[in-house]
Amino acid sequence: MDRRKIIKKAEELMETSMKGNDASHDAAHVYRVRDLALSLAREEGLSSSPHSMDIVELSALLHDLGDYKYARDPLEEKIVETFLVEEGIEEEKKLKILDIIKRMGFKDELQGPKDGCYSPEFGVVQDADRLDAIGAIGIARCFTFGGSRNRVLHDPSIQARSDLSKEQYVKKDEQTTVNHFHEKLLKLKDLMKTEAGKRRALQRHKFMEEFLEEFYKEWDGKA
């Protein structure tokens, strides 16, 4: 297996597949997640295993292909598996990559962290994706996505839901952009799987709290 050639093809596939997405879920997001995931993997001691680093990099590069928020064709759900088979990725590695991508989403952890085992590779890739959803970048992405869906910026009469169900989250019922912070983004710090991810999440989480405090003051004309 020519590792660099496969990584290059994965990058090209990702860029082509995500070309029509808004800037909250574009190629730049994926490249940030890839770089974060590799950095976290090194901090977590995975760099001694080229096998693990391949899984981390390919999972990060391909994790948003076929995303339900943007999927325009039912066949897009199979795009990653088709790519891995065509590139001759060994079965064990292929299954690990597909499992990581399948379990990445927040909607399955709405009621808190899931019990059970997860691989170190899964931990760093999911943490990297969640780190890119919080902090300064996360704030920018949140408002970019809300704007792309013509979502209400803020409405004090619409309360954030503390008992949000998976079905409601997927449908985005009665969602406002600011409520998304309370319904998802502020919860991500406590859902980090790795120690490296937890350390990095602290500052990003704090930045969001400070932003919201200022936002509400300005909304109410108090600042």
Contact 110, 166 (CB under 8 A): yes
Helix intervals (H) in the chain: 3-17, 27-43, 50-62, 79-86, 91-102, 120-131, 135-148, 166-171, 177-183, 195-219
Q: Model confidence over 118-138: pLDDT tens digits?
A: 899 999 999 999 999 999 999
Is the pLDDT at 1 greater than 80, yes or no?
no
- What number of residues does the chain have? 223
Confidence band for 223, pLDDT divided at 50, 70 and 90: confident
User: What pLDDT is recorded for position 170?
Assistant: 61
User: What pLDDT is recorded for position 168?
Assistant: 66
Alpha-carbon gap, residue 94 to 75, rounded angstroms: 18
Question: What does the radius of gyration of the chain's CA atoms come to, in whole angstroms?
Answer: 18
Query: Rounded to a whole number, what is the largest CA-CA distance in the chain?
Result: 61
Q: Tell me, rounded to whole angstroms, the distance of Cα 31 from its chain centroid.
A: 12
Query: Please, what are the domains in the chain?
Result: 3-219 (1.10.3210.50)
198-220 mean pLDDT:
98
Q: Model confidence over 68-123: pLDDT tens digits?
A: 676 655 556 689 999 999 999 999 999 999 999 998 888 767 655 555 678 999 99
Number of H helices, E strands in the chain: 10, 0
Q: Model confidence over 150-186: pLDDT tens digits?
A: 999 999 999 888 776 666 666 666 689 999 999 999 9
Contact 53, 47 (CB under 8 A): yes
180-208 mean pLDDT:
96
Which residue has tokens 């490296």? Answer: 196
Q: Is 43 exposed, middle or buried (0-12, 13-18, 19+ CB in 10 A)?
A: middle
Q: Model confidence over 24-76: pLDDT tens digits?
A: 999 999 999 999 999 999 999 999 999 999 999 999 999 999 776 766 555 56
User: What pLDDT is recorded for position 14?
Assistant: 96
Strand, coil or helix: 158: coil
User: What pLDDT is recorded for position 93?
Assistant: 95
User: What pLDDT is recorded for position 5?
Assistant: 95
C-alpha distances out from residue 210 to 152, 153, 156, 215, Å: 21, 18, 19, 9
206-214 mean pLDDT:
98
